Structure formats: structure tokens, C-alpha cells
């Protein structure tokens, strides 16, 4: 799948060598403590500040502490630099490693020259810059890793709400066991009001389940035999027995956590851009330093040439650039998690800027997916309407498809017993078939009747469909026997989503397997002009390809029948949180089944990308300006960037990048 393809080099460099980071939090705090005496005892870029101290031997104390800090705090960057250099792609880690190495080696030289050989004038050291660079870079990478924890915190808290014990059924007897002792295939009993201990399938009993804390959907969902339940959701008034299908690492919550972590460990285009900028700066700084050294060696002397070259290399260190992307990622991820957005592929956020079409499924995406039977009837004399409904219910018994649920609810409401149907099998994209009382029975669509040349009342069909109904037909031994018409409700937020998409110049397109008339009724109410109806699942994927020839495409669906088109689209957005959807299909999973979250995702994506771009310019802009000035490009005009001014610019750019990232906001409704 498009977003799962990472080559070996990408994997090696993923997350700025995060596999080498170790405990960044501890390294950062230890390094910060070691930095305090260095700041108090050593000048900043050659200038001694009023609060700084000096005593006999203080230079050696600073050198000792700086050495510890260099090898301890700098270790992650050396490991990352080695990986980058092995692949011949120097980037952020190589640039940092070069900067701190030059600063350390030159500072040790300065300490020996000043205190052993008493060189005049004194040689300036860079321990202050070494310490602050290591601290800032460790902070940046800690923030980047912490973004994973922030993103998963909402889901992680759900795992803590799982019950400690479960009622396991062994040989017909119930015994309480620890939840972590459950295994796939175990049978457990869940009583009224209890939390479901693990993912599973009902084997007996009926109930209603509140999955709000898992899916964000506040309403209760009716469950019966063969229906799936998610560990962590709350059982209603009924008691049921279930078979465990997922525990521990295989459960829904654990899979979502893995999804978020995998997303954070893959680099986005902007992060790759930051690495490219850093790689360019690596070569540029090296080249400028060499040229400056040779030039000033001829103009001045060795000490001056060496000082200028080292200043260039130290000033080139990416203080602001190292924080540019991690700070925005951390802020964006936090906002997304609070609003039920699981970003599986971070490149999806950057693709929003070129988005032209939003293709979307109808049932479950634009509509509630709660069908209600509006009409059912027999088309053969001697067969009652109730008999038709009984046959339909028999065919749909055990199915969780929205249309099936509508038929079963109607039969239950009318107290009609479902016919006994065996050998039930799906007719892909068409309906269901089976056998009852020695007869072949099937529930099919009007499209199937047209394909098979089976005559039916087109006027009746048009009348039912034009009222927004999905119409299905009952066949007995390939003879048209009855029909059922069901209606669905449009989600209240769907119309706003369509309106907002149009305002952003994104063309909404409805894709549905439903009949043309019903699709047009829904489209008209929502303001959708382009509709593709009577589609098979594979048709949607083909249509995505067609639209991609004219521009970038976002596919919005429920992630079940829509899986191929979700994977094919430039941005796949799954509404709802079915496990298969989250893991296999979509770039973005909207935990709440709210169409408005699509708009919030687009808004957040645009603002996040904008902040990343701004921060890259702030971070790189400092280096682009400071490197040539430090090398003395304006020396003929009497100006050379002093180390002190370079330090001020460096600090200022870092502060600006941090403040800019923290100002990332979405509108009040989304927050």
C-alpha cells in the first residue's frame, strides 16, 4: 500500500535515528544540569556576562564537564550521523555531530593553549555553544518522540479502564480470572453494566453496548449473536456470552496504539525537507569553512583563519532547524488526538494543499446507516406480505449489514418469525442467496434484475426510489416474489461538510451501490452535483483512478467495502473506527462518526503544513544569513559577524520557531 512502502534507507533514517536515542528524557535533564556550571563559568561566544564566574582552574573544570557532556549528551547524534554517512546522505544528525565535534575539539585546544602555553591573545572556546546545542537538540528529539505518547494518550487511557477480571466459562462453570490470562478462543460471560474485557463475538444473548469511550459514538448499539464487540466498551442491561477474538497486542486498542506509533515513526515530506536542508547546510558549511580558512590564512594568520573556520562550523549548527518540525508535530498531534483524529500517514496532511476531489460513500458516511423498512409487499398471488418479510429475514439472519438490520428489526417489530434458510452465501455487490424448504431464495437489487432480464414494475420502483428508499427484491427459484423498500437518515453534519468542501474548492462526489434515484435524492438534499450510483466495490477503486487523472483525490468511507478505494486514493479517510479500517485501509481514521471531522482534519492539515513551512524558513534562514557573514563575506565593507551577534541571532531564531509552533490552533469548535 502506498504509505507502507519505506525503503531500507528511509527506515534507517526514520525519526532522526530514533532507534539510537535511548532515554532522551534522562539524557536531556542530565545534560541540562551539566550545562548550568558551563554557563556560569565560560564566556558566550567570547563575551563574559555579568553573572558569570571565574576562579583559578575554572577553565579546566569547564573542560571536564564539557567532555562529559560531549560524550554523554552527544552519543545519540554520533550514532545517527554514522547511519546517515553510511547511506551517503548526511542530514540533521551529521550536521549536529559535525558542529558539536568541532566546538568540542577547538574548545579543548583553546583551553590547553590558554592555560598551558599562555597564548596571546587568548583563544576563544565554544563550550557555551557546545552545551546549549546539545541541550536544544536533545529537547527537539524528545519532543518528537513525546508526540507519539501525546497522540495515543486518549486511547491509552481507555486501556486503563479495562476491567481487571473476567468471567471465564470452563466446562459450563463460570470462574473469575485476570483479564491478562484470557486467550483467543476463550468463552466469557459479560453481565449487565460491566465493561467488556476483550474483543470478541457474541455466541448467545442480546444486549446494547455503549462504545462511546472507544469510538466516540454516544448512542447504544444493539448486539446479538455473531456481532462483534470491542474490549473497553460498556455492556447495557443484557447478559451475554462471547468468544474472545483479540487480547493484549491483538486487541483493538493495542492495534490503534500501534497505528499511531507507526505513523509517528514514518517521516513526512516536510521532515524529509528538513533533512534535505540540513544535508545542504552540512556541505555548504564545510565548503565555506574550508574556503574561509584558506582565504584568511593568506590575509591574516593561522590563528585567525582557524577561528573563522570554526566559527562558521559552529554557527551552522541547526539549533532552530532541529526544533522546527518536532515542535509543530507535537502541537498538531496533540490537537488531532483531542479531536478524535488518528493520523496513520503524516504525508496525508501535506497532500491536502493539492486536493481537488472528495469522493465519499453514502451509507454510514453521509447517512446514519440505520435503515427502516417503509414498505414490504408480495408480487405473487397467494403469498402474503408477512411471508415475504419472513423469507427476507431468514436470508438476512445473522448479518450486520445496515439493510439486513433494517429487515430484521421490521420482522421483530411485527413479531414475524424468520424463515429457516440454509446455505446462505453472499452474491458480491448484489445481495444474498440460500435455500428454504427445497427452494432457492435470494434477495437482490434492481441492477441484478436488469442484468438477468427479470421483468419488474419500473413505475413502482421509481416511485419508491424517488422517495429516498433503497429497494430490494425477493426471488424464489429465480421468480420475482416480493420487494422491500427501506429509508435511511442523512447525518445532520453531512450538509455542513459538503458546504465547507465546496468553499475550499474541493469537488464532492458521491459513490454508492444504491440505486440512482435514491442516490440523487440524498445528493440533492446535501448539495452534491456529481453522483455515481449502482456501483460494485471494485467500481469505486476504478473511479478513484479516473478522478486522479485530473487531480488529487480524497476518499471518505466506512473502510469495509471501501477498503480498495481508500488505499488507492491520495488521502484515504475512514469514518468510524472498525479495526480492519484502522489497520488496513485509511491514511486518517476519524474515531467519531462525524462528517464535520473531515473539515476539521482539512483545516488542521493546512495549518500544520503552513507552520512547518514557516519554521523551516525561520530555521534555515538564520543559517543562510549567518554562515557567509561569519566567513567574512562583508569584510571588504568592514563587517564580520561577531561570535556574540551570531549567538544572539541563533537564540532569537530558536525562540521564534518555538513560539510559532505553539501558536498552531484550529477553530474554537474543533478545539
Catalytic-role residue among 347, 361, 558, 587: 361
CB 166 within 8 A of CB 197: yes
Q: Residue 385 and residue 368: Cα distance in Å, rounded?
A: 27
Query: Across the strands, what pairs with 377?
Result: 483
The candidate with the shortest Cα–Cα distance to 95, out of 74, 109, 73, 69, is 74
* Alpha helices for 593-642 (secondary structure H): 596-631
CA 308 to chain centre: 45
| Burial (0-12, 13-18, 19+ Cβ within 10 Å), 53 | exposed
CA–CA dist 410, 391 (Å, integer): 12
- What is the rounded distance in angstroms from the CA atom of residue 551 to the CA atom of residue 505? 12
Give backbone dihedrals phi and psi of 241, rounded to 5 degrees, phi first: -110, 145
**Terminal alpha carbon distance of the chain:** 32
What CA–CA distances, in Å, run from 83 to 76, 78, 86, 401?
A: 11, 9, 5, 50
361 is annotated as an active-site residue: yes
Residue 222: count of CB within 10 angstroms of its CB: 14
As a whole number of angstroms, the distance between CA 267 and CA 518 comes to 43
The answer to whether 167 and 190 have CB atoms below 8 angstroms apart is yes
3-state secondary structure 158-209: HHHCCCCEEEEEECCEEEEEEHHHCCCCCEEEECCCCECCCEEEEEECCEEE
- Compute the CA torsion angle 151, 154, 155, 161 (nearest 10 deg): 150
Cis (ω within 30 of 0) for the bond into 671? no
d(CA 418, CA 156): 42
Please classify residue 550 by burial: count the beta carbons closer than 10 Å to its beta carbon, then call 0-12 exposed, 13-18 middle and 19+ buried: exposed
* 233-256: b (≥16 Cβ within 10 Å) or e: bbbbebbbbbebbbbeeebbbbbb
CA 306 to chain centroid: 48
Q: At what angle do helices 302-315 and 643-662 cross, to 10 degrees?
A: 0
Strand, helix or coil for residue 422: strand
DSSP letters for 49-85: -TT----TTHHHHHHHHHHHHHHHHTHHHHHHHHHHH
Return the H-helix or E-strand segment holding 390.
helix 385-396
Residues 6+ apart with CB under 8 A from 555: 359, 360, 540, 544, 562, 565, 566, 568, 569, 571, 572, 573
- What amino acid positions are annotated as catalytic residues? 361
Amino acid at each position: 500500500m502506498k504509505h507502507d512502502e519505506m525503503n531500507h534507507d528511509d527506515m534507517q533514517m526514520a525519526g532522526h535515528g530514533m532507534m539510537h536515542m535511548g532515554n532522551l528524557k534522562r539524557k536531556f535533564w542530565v545534560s541540562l544540569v551539566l550545562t548550568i556550571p558551563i554557563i556560569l563559568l565560560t564566556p558566550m561566544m567570547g563575551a563574559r556576562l555579568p553573572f558569570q564566574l571565574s576562579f583559578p582552574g575554572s577553565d579546566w573544570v569547564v573542560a571536564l564537564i564539557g567532555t562529559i557532556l560531549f560524550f554523554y549528551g552527544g552519543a545519540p547524534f554520533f550514532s545517527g550521523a554514522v547511519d546517515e554517512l553510511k547511506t551517503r546522505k548526511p542530514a540533521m544528525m551529521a550536521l549536529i555531530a559535525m558542529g558539536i565535534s568541532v566546538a568540542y575539539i577547538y574548545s579543548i585546544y583553546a583551553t590547553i593553549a590558554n592555560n598551558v602555553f599562555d597564548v596571546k591573545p587568548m583563544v576563544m572556546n565554544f563550550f557555551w555553544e557546545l552545551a546549549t546545542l546539545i541541550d536544544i537538540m536533545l529537547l527537539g528529539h524528545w519532543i518528537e518522540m513525546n508526540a507519539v505518547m501525546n497522540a495515543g494518550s486518549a486511547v491509552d487511557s481507555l486501556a486503563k479502564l479495562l476491567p481487571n477480571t473476567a468471567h471465564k466459562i470452563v466446562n459450563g462453570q463460570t470462574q473469575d480470572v485476570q483479564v491478562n490470562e484470557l486467550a483467543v478462543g476463550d468463552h466469557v460471560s459479560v453481565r449487565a453494566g460491566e465493561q467488556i474485557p476483550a474483543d470478541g463475538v457474541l455466541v448467545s444473548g442480546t444486549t446494547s453496548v455503549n462504545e462511546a469511550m472507544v469510538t466516540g459514538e454516544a448512542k447504544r448499539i444493539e448486539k446479538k449473536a455473531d456481532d462483534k464487540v470491542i474490549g473497553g466498551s460498556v455492556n447495557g442491561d443484557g447478559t451475554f456470552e462471547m468468544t474472545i477474538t483479540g487480547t493484549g497486542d491483538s486487541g483493538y486498542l493495542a492495534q490503534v496504539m500501534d497505528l499511531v506509533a507507526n505513523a509517528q515513526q514514518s517521516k513526512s515530506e516536510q521532515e524529509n525537507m528538513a533533512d534535505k536542508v540540513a544535508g545542504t547546510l552540512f556541505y555548504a558549511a564545510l565548503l565555506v569553512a574550508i574556503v574561509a580558512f584558506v582565504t584568511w590564512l593568506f590575509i591574516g594568520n593561522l590563528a585567525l583563519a582557524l577561528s573563522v573556520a570554526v566559527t562558521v562550523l559552529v554557527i551552522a549548527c541547526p539549533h532552530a532547524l532541529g526544533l522546527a518540525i518536532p515542535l509543530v508535530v507535537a502541537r498538531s498531534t496533540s490537537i488531532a488526538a483531542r479531536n478524535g483524529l488518528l493520523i496513520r500517514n503524516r504525508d496525508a496532511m501535506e497532500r491536502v494543499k493539492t486536493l481537488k476531489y472528495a469522493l465519499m460513500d453514502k451509507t454510514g458516511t453521509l447517512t446514519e446507516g440505520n435503515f427502516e423498512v417503509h414498505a414490504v409487499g408480495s408480487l405473487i398471488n397467494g403469498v402474503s406480505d408477512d411471508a415475504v418479510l419472513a423469507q427476507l429475514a431468514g436470508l438476512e439472519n445473522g448479518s450486520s449489514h445496515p439493510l439486513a438490520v433494517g429487515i430484521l428489526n421490521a420482522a421483530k417489530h411485527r413479531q414475524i418469525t424468520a424463515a429457516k434458510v440454509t446455505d446462505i452465501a453472499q452474491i458480491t455487490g448484489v445481495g444474498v442467496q440460500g435455500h428454504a424448504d427445497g427452494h432457492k431464495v435470494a434477495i437482490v437489487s434492481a441492477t441484478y434484475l436488469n442484468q438477468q432480464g427479470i421483468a419488474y414494475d419500473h413505475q413502482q420502483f421509481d416511485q419508491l426510489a424517488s422517495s429516498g428508499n433503497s429497494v430490494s427484491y425477493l426471488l424464489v427459484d429465480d421468480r420475482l416474489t416480493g420487494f422491500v423498500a427501506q429509508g435511511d437518515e442523512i447525518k445532520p453534519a453531512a450538509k455542513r461538510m459538503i458546504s465547507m468542501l465546496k468553499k475550499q474548492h474541493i469537488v464532492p462526489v458521491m459513490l454508492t451501490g444504491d440505486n440512482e434515484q435514491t442516490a440523487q435524492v440524498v445528493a440533492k438534499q446535501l448539495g452534491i452535483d456529481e453522483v455515481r450510483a449502482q456501483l460494485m466495490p471494485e467500481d469505486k477503486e476504478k473511479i478513484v483512478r479516473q478522478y486522479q487523472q485530473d487531480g488529487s483525490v480524497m476518499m471518505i468511507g466506512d473502510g469495509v467495502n471501501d477498503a480498495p478505494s481508500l488505499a488507492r486514493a491520495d488521502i484515504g479517510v475512514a469514518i468510524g473506527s472498525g479495526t480492519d479500517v484502522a489497520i488496513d485501509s485509511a491514511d486518517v481514521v476519524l474515531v467519531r462518526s462525524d462528517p464535520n471531522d473531515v473539515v476539521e482534519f482539512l483545516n488542521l492539515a493546512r495549518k500544520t503544513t503552513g507552520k512547518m513551512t514557516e519554521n523551516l524558513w525561520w530555521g534555515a534562514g538564520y543559517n543562510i544569513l549567518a554562515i557567509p557573514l561569519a566567513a567574512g563575506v562583508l569584510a571588504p565593507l568592514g563587517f564580520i559577524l561577531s561570535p556574540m551577534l551570531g549567538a544572539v541571532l541563533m537564540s532569537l531564531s530558536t525562540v521564534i520557531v518555538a513560539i510559532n509552533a505553539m501558536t498552531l490552533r484550529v477553530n474554537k469548535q474543533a478545539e
